Amino acid sequence: MRLYTATSLIAVLIVLATIADIRTNRMISKLDRRHAVICGCIIILCAVCEWVGQMVDGNETFIVVHTCAKLLELCMAPAIGVAVAVSYGDAIGTKTAIAVTLCQSVFQCIAFTQGWNFYIDAGGFYHRGIMVEVSVIAFLFSLLYGVICMIRAEIRYQAKFNGVLTLTLVLLAVGTGSLFITGYPHASYLSMALSNMLFYIEFYRMTLQIDGVTELLNRRCYETALMSVKPGSIILLTDLNDFKVVNDTYGHSAGDLCLIRTAAIMRKVYGRYGQCFRIGGDEYAVILSRHTQDIKQLNAAFTKSVEQMVSEDSRMTGVSLGYAYVNTMDEDVHSVVELADQELYRNKQKRPRVNRTKQ
């Protein structure tokens, strides 16, 4: 039991340290910081409630405290996964998730009055009710939801599904698994505290890798990706035609919209075959490493989608592109970029002139 107290204390300290780190992190927006702090507070609350419950179990004088702690824990535990999803992941159906969590809390309160989920006898001992599984299932589902939203964020921001996230899932599984194997006392909130910290790291990494406007990978990632490009890959460069004119004629918000929509088309067409980057004001790059034989079809599809966008909204503008193959290991990758750039320039010269008049 003393080991359990020690691990609970450490879990709380870990969450506090994570919160302190998030609050002083200037790279994260104010709103995200607030979400992350709330998420941490929920974990602390649950861990403390569980600890209190364990400490006063079998003690007649603290029956009220025991009851409150247990009920609070049952109500709040399923909120952890949702909080993780909102704070660090790409949350989907957030409102529904929060509503379900609230319903779960209400259900637990009602169930308590009927003694369905748990009851505490006159001796202060905790007993499971017939429907205690509901809270366990809700808890597991919320964790699953949190993990799914994290994976969605990984895909959205083209983060490589790297070892850290996989291992975090293993950690989470070990912690929650201990709940079933060892029974009380268990280490699930310790693993939750650690996973919270790791999700924060992962989220923070992703934020640093993307360009804020288009959500493509940023220039820094492009430079490092170039260094480890595999032979047989294609480097494709794109740039918007007359982007300055769009900006000057229709304003910066139209310019941004143009950048965002082009980036979205790019992700849709090339995303499955490689990584997309925004490497300058109106310049993009794609490093294609899979199925590079279809490049002509892909390019045709891309140009067609962009043309369609331009025909639908006259403020948008077309693109020019150029690409080159990375042939052998020893070839300097920057000369390949140079080749792609030259082709891009030739294509740009060839394109029909569009006359944009100020409206």
Partner 1 sequence: MFFDLYTTVFLITILILVITAVDIWNNRLMSKKTAGWAVLACVMIALSTSGEFIDALLNGSGIGWTFVHLGGRFVEFCCAPVICIALAFAYGSPIHGGVAVKSVIAHILFEIVCVFFGLIFYVDEINLFHRGPLYLMYLAYFMSTVVYAFITVIRKGKAYQTDVDAVLYLILSILSVGVIIQFVDSRIRVFYLCMAVINMLLCIRNDKTMLQVDAVTGLLNRKCYDVDLSEHKGDFILYLFDVDLFKQVNDTYGHATGDLCLQTVAAIILDAFGSYGQCYRIGGDEFAAVVEMDLQQQIQAESRFRQLVKDARNHDERMPDVSFGYSRHRDDHHIQSMIDDADENLYRNKMAGRKNV
Q: Does 7 bind partner 1 (CB under 8 A)?
A: yes
Residue type, 327: N
Torsion sign, CA atoms 87, 93, 94, 98: negative
Using a 10 angstrom Cβ sphere, with 0-12 exposed, 13-18 middle and 19 or more buried, the burial of residue 136 is middle
Q: Does 6 bind partner 1 (CB under 8 A)?
A: yes
Q: CB nearer to partner 1: give 26 or 353.
A: 26
Using CB under 8 A as the criterion, what x/- string covers residues 10-29 for binding partner 1? x--xx-xx--xx-xxxxx--
Q: Does 213 bind partner 1 (CB under 8 A)?
A: no
Distance separating alpha carbons of residues 100 and 93, to the nearest angstrom: 11
Q: Tokens 């450490």 sit at which residue?
A: 10
Least distance between partner 1 and beta carbon 305 (Å): 34
Residue-level length of the chain: 359
Query: Could you give the 3-state DSSP secondary structure of residue 28?
Result: coil
Q: Does 3 bind partner 1 (CB under 8 A)?
A: yes
Q: CB nearer to partner 1: give 177 or 318.
A: 177
Q: How many CA atoms lie within 13 A of 241 on its CB side?
A: 24
| Strand 283-288 to 126-128 pairing | unpaired
Q: CA distances (Å), 293 to each of 66, 124, 273, 298, in order?
A: 66, 71, 11, 10
Q: Identify which range of 87-95, 181-189, 243-251, 292-300 contacts partner 1 by CB under 8 A.
A: 181-189
Sequence-ordered alpha helix ranges (H) in the chain: 2-23, 30-56, 63-88, 94-114, 133-156, 163-181, 188-209, 219-227, 243-250, 252-270, 295-312, 333-350
Q: CB nearer to partner 1: give 146 or 322.
A: 146
Q: Of 78, 55, 79, 74, give the one whose Cα is nearest residue 66.
A: 55
Least distance between partner 1 and beta carbon 147 (Å): 16
Q: CB nearer to partner 1: give 16 or 100.
A: 16
Q: Does 174 bind partner 1 (CB under 8 A)?
A: yes
Q: Does 157 bind partner 1 (CB under 8 A)?
A: no
Least distance between partner 1 and beta carbon 190 (Å): 6
Q: Does 212 bind partner 1 (CB under 8 A)?
A: no
Q: CB nearer to partner 1: give 164 or 339.
A: 164
Least distance between partner 1 and beta carbon 112 (Å): 28
Q: Of 249, 255, 240, 222, give the one whose Cα is nearest residue 303.
A: 240
Q: Does 2 bind partner 1 (CB under 8 A)?
A: yes
Q: Are 127 and 117 in contact (CB under 8 A)?
A: no
Query: Of 78, 175, 274, 322, which lies in the binding site for partner 1, with binding defined by CB under 8 A?
Result: 175
Query: Of 167, 213, 300, 354, which lies in the binding site for partner 1, with binding defined by CB under 8 A?
Result: 167
Query: Could you give the 3-state DSSP secondary structure of residue 154?
Result: helix
Query: Of 40, 81, 185, 274, which lies in the binding site for partner 1, with binding defined by CB under 8 A?
Result: 185
Query: Of 150, 187, 336, 337, which lies in the binding site for partner 1, with binding defined by CB under 8 A?
Result: 187
The values of phi and psi at residue 182, to 5°, are -90, -15
Q: Identify which range of 49-57, 198-206, 251-259, 260-268 contacts partner 1 by CB under 8 A.
A: 198-206
Q: Give the footprint of partner 1 on this chain (CB under 8 A).
A: 2-4, 6-7, 9-10, 13-14, 16-17, 20-21, 23-27, 30, 162-164, 167-168, 170-171, 174-175, 178, 181-182, 185-187, 190-191, 194, 197-198, 200-201, 208, 224
